[in-house]
Homo-oligomer: A and B are copies of this chain.
Amino acid sequence: MNTFEYLLEHNIKPSVQRMAIMGYLDSHRTHPTADEIFNALSPTIPTLSKTTIYNTLKLFVQQGVAQSISIDEKNEHFDANTAVHAHFLCRKCNKIYDAFIKSKKLPGETELKEEGHKIDEAYIYYRGLCRECMEKELNKQNN
């Protein structure tokens, strides 16, 4: 799937900036923040403005080519994967890990629907200590 066509199919005019931001999001599945995207792209597009990053990401979310991840209190993160999937934030290294979902029924979903609410978005967030960080802590102790 090429970025140009993908944006067009979602009614987003593929400008240089939009292509670059979508390209970055698609090739870096690390759930970057607006700031991280700006720092990554600004060397190659020196005129790039942070406002454009914010505007574009908002547009991407509206048009359904990205989702906003609010697992981190401090910063909004973004994900080119728009499918419903779980996220795990390591409180030590701040990395965000993906976890895919097997069952179709999400917890509490049926109850909410039975009460007559209409669900448009679903998010599953976990926080804790990732394997990598846990191993680092163990190595410290065994030295």
Q: Interface residues of A, CB < 8 Å — how many?
A: 40
Question: Which of these, B73, B86, B120, contacts A127 with CB under 8 Å?
Answer: B120
In Å, the complex CA distance between A88 and B115 comes to: 11
Beyond A73-B70, A131-B116, whether A108 also contacts B121 by CB under 8 A is: no
In Å, the complex CA distance between A119 and B127 comes to: 6
Q: Is the CB of A120 within 8 A of B112?
A: no
Number of copies of chain A assembled together: 2
Residues of B with C-beta under 8 A to A10: none
Interface residues of A in 14-72 (CB under 8 A from B): 68, 70-71
Q: Is the CB of A108 within 8 A of B120?
A: no
Is A12 in the interface zone, CB < 8 Å from B?
no
What are 21 residue pairs bridging A and B, where the CB atoms are less than 8 Å apart in the complex? A70-B73, A86-B106, A86-B112, A90-B117, A97-B112, A101-B108, A102-B107, A106-B124, A106-B126, A108-B124, A112-B126, A115-B131, A117-B128, A117-B129, A118-B129, A119-B126, A120-B128, A120-B129, A123-B123, A123-B124, A124-B124
Which positions in A face B, CB cutoff 8 Å?
Answer: 68, 70-71, 73, 76, 85-86, 88, 90-91, 97, 99-103, 106-109, 111-112, 115-131, 134
